[in-house]
């Protein structure tokens, strides 16, 4: 580093996560071995978003800037040998999006410092990232407390002769969740045919849209659970739960280049049938009335007991569905075969409710002892791909907890086709994703 023995940026109280409109401060630390002449020492605070058509490419196709502030902390002089500290402070704008990192783009915030030296002398630069969390309050999302319904009907035929009908019907307890909460799913399968169905699969899926000239859609399965099939002529019910891991929020308010969406997909492998339930992932949970409690910790992997999952609107086709719902079939309970949120010992993942009290996306990593004090350890999801684990007043580090981190993005051909929207699902009779609300 030449004349510099130390040149770095520190944030006050090692704080790296800030909210919109918040003041962020720190200092530039410089230690010199000999005298260093300079023309100016400037600190820059920047926030921007960039997207590309190539995976993990830093040459952005499109960019947008949220702010770019400059502060001169020293003007023309000589730094004598020794340690020097130059404080800085910036006020973040009130309308900046949450930090985000994906394979085709990112929303990044950083502090940079530059020592401008006289002509023909070596200049010095350093930078350090920080993160913004623009909280999404689920209480401000319309109709978020209502259950979400979807239903589809599949007809079997052979040589143009109708041989049977299958109806797949799914309901979630809410339309919005925060990390650490539990999505409760209730699924009914009416198999009025002479053939057994394949396994039923419920998946929490993330769709990220990068709005280049030709939009790129990135899909990944965050968690999934598989249940057994339904025998011919049977009516079966399946109840399961999916824990919401630390995830970026659904809406990146203030960003026009990246969209983040989530939905639950329940599907049968044979025959091919699927329904989708759009959901919202936020940071501030719903303040529900006592009659509709918010789940704070996951229960057993399978909740026994029948419950009707009546859709808010009848299926598109009438007749067979009325016969299916009229009874006359043995009502069975579908057993769960596998769950991606189980540990190797096949025990359900458990999370302490207190672990989420200090930050959204909080969770205790496995094998970590829970402290006796009331202040829990927590994993803070800032909206970036990798959540951060921290204990006490120290710099957060990436967590490697495999049970709470979603899978890595898989390599994919460009571009991926997006799943149908909820409106498309409702209006398309021939679509494999047919939903009715």
* Predicted pLDDT of residue 360: 31
* Predicted pLDDT of residue 365: 31
Choose the weakest-confidence range: 121-135, 181-195, 269-283, 375-389: 375-389
Cis before 143? omega within 30? no
**Per-residue pLDDT at 197 exceeds 80:** yes
Q: Same structural domain for residues 76 and 143?
A: no
* Predicted pLDDT of residue 158: 57
* Predicted pLDDT of residue 287: 87
The answer to whether residues 219 and 210 touch, using CB atoms and an 8 Å cutoff, is: no
* Predicted pLDDT of residue 289: 62
405 lies in some domain: no
Report how far residue 40's alpha carbon sits from residue 288's, in angstroms, rounded to the nearest whole number: 55
**DSSP β-ladder status, 100-102 and 17-18:** unpaired
Q: Tell me which residue range forms the domain holding 296.
A: 138-347+411-427
The answer to whether residues 170 and 309 touch, using CB atoms and an 8 Å cutoff, is: yes
Paired strand residues for 81 = none
76 lies in some domain: yes
Q: Among 94, 109, 132, which residue terminates a domain?
A: 132
Q: Same structural domain for residues 121 and 158?
A: no
Q: Same structural domain for residues 114 and 147?
A: no
Q: Same structural domain for residues 32 and 153?
A: no
**Per-residue pLDDT at 126 exceeds 80:** yes
**Per-residue pLDDT at 156 exceeds 90:** no
395 lies in some domain: no
Tell me which H or E stretch contains 324: helix 320-325
128 lies in some domain: yes
The answer to whether residues 239 and 186 touch, using CB atoms and an 8 Å cutoff, is: yes
Report how far residue 163's alpha carbon sits from residue 49's, in angstroms, rounded to the nearest whole number: 54
Plot region of 2 (φ>0 → left; ψ -120 to 50 → alpha; else → beta): left
Q: Same structural domain for residues 35 and 142?
A: no
What are the strands, taking DSSP E only, across 269-328? 273-281
**Per-residue pLDDT at 250 exceeds 70:** yes
251 lies in some domain: yes
| CA-based torsion, 364, 12, 254, 136: positive or negative | positive
Q: 8 — phi, psi (to 5°)? A: -150, 175
Report how far residue 296's alpha carbon sits from residue 177's, in angstroms, rounded to the nearest whole number: 11
Q: Same structural domain for residues 76 and 165?
A: no
* Predicted pLDDT of residue 222: 92
Q: Among 108, 132, 156, which residue terminates a domain?
A: 132
Q: Which positions ≥6 away from 201 have C-beta within 8 Å?
A: 224, 225, 226, 227, 265, 266, 267, 268, 269
Q: Among 111, 132, 153, which residue terminates a domain?
A: 132
CA atoms within 13 A on the CB side of 311: 23
Q: Same structural domain for residues 173 and 290?
A: yes
Report how far residue 332's alpha carbon sits from residue 232's, in angstroms, rounded to the nearest whole number: 12
Diameter of the chain measured on Cα atoms: 92
Q: pTM for this structure?
A: 0.70
Q: Same structural domain for residues 120 and 171?
A: no
3-state secondary structure of 355: helix
| % pLDDT > 70, the chain | 66
147 lies in some domain: yes
205 lies in some domain: yes
Q: Per-residue pLDDT tens for 80-115?
A: 999 999 999 999 999 999 999 999 999 999 999 999
Q: Based on the structure, what is the number of domains in the chain?
A: 2
Q: Same structural domain for residues 119 and 176?
A: no
Q: What is the CATH number of the domain that holds 310?
A: 2.60.40.640
**Per-residue pLDDT at 421 exceeds 80:** no
Q: Same structural domain for residues 159 and 122?
A: no
Q: Per-residue pLDDT tens for 332-341?
A: 888 888 888 7
**Per-residue pLDDT at 227 exceeds 50:** yes
Q: Same structural domain for residues 88 and 104?
A: yes
354 lies in some domain: no
370 pLDDT band (50/70/90 cuts)? very low
The rounded mean pLDDT for the chain is 74
Q: Which positions ≥6 away from 329 have C-beta within 8 Å?
A: 190, 192, 233, 234, 235
Q: Same structural domain for residues 85 and 210?
A: no
């Amino acid at each position: 580093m030449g004349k510099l023995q130390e040149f770095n940026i520190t944030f006050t109280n090692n704080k790296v996560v800030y909210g919109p409109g918040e003041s962020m401060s720190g200092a530039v630390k410089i230690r010199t071995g000999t005298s260093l002449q300079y023309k100016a020492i400037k600190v820059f605070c920047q926030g921007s978003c960039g997207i590309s058509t190539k995976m993990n490419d830093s040459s952005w196709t499109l960019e947008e800037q949220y702010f770019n502030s400059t502060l001169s902390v020293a003007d023309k002089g000589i730094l004598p040998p020794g340690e020097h500290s130059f404080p800085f402070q910036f006020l973040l704008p009130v309308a900046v999006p949450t930090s985000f990192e994906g394979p085709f783009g990112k929303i990044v915030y950083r502090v940079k410092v530059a020592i401008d030296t006289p002509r023909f002398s070596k200049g010095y630069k350093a930078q350090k990232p920080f993160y913004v969390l623009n909280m999404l309050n689920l209480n401000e999302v319309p109709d978020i407390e209502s259950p979400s319904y979807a239903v589809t009907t599949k007809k079997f035929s052979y040589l143009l002769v109708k041989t049977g009908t299958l109806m797949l019907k799914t309901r979630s307890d809410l339309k919005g969740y925060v990390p650490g909460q539990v999505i409760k799913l209730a699924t009914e399968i009416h198999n009025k045919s002479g053939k057994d169905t394949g396994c039923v699969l419920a998946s929490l899926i993330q769709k990220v849209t990068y709005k280049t000239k030709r939009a790129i859609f990135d899909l990944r399965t965050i968690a999934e659970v598989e249940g057994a099939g339904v025998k011919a002529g049977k009516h079966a019910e399946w109840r399961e739960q999916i824990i919401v891991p630390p995830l970026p929020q659904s809406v990146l308010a203030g960003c026009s280049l990246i969209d983040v969406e989530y939905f639950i997909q329940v599907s049968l492998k044979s025959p091919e049938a699927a329904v989708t339930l759009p959901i919202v992932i936020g940071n501030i949970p719903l303040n529900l009335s006592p009659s509709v409690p918010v789940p704070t910790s996951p229960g057993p992997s399978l909740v026994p007991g029948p419950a009707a999952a009546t859709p808010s609107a009848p299926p598109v086709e009438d007749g067979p569905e009325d016969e299916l719902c009229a009874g006359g079939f043995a009502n069975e309970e579908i057993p769960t075969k596998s769950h991606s949120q189980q540990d190797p010992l096949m025990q359900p993942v458990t999370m302490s409710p207190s672990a989420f009290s200090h930050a959204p996306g909080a969770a205790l990593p496995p094998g970590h002892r829970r402290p006796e004090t009331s202040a829990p350890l927590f994993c803070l999801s800032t909206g970036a791909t990798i959540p951060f684990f921290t204990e006490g007043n120290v710099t957060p580090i990436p967590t490697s907890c495999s049970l709470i981190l979603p899978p890595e993005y898989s390599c994919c051909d460009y571009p991926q086709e997006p799943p149908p929207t909820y409106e498309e699902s409702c209006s398309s009779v021939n679509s494999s994703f047919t939903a009715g609300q």
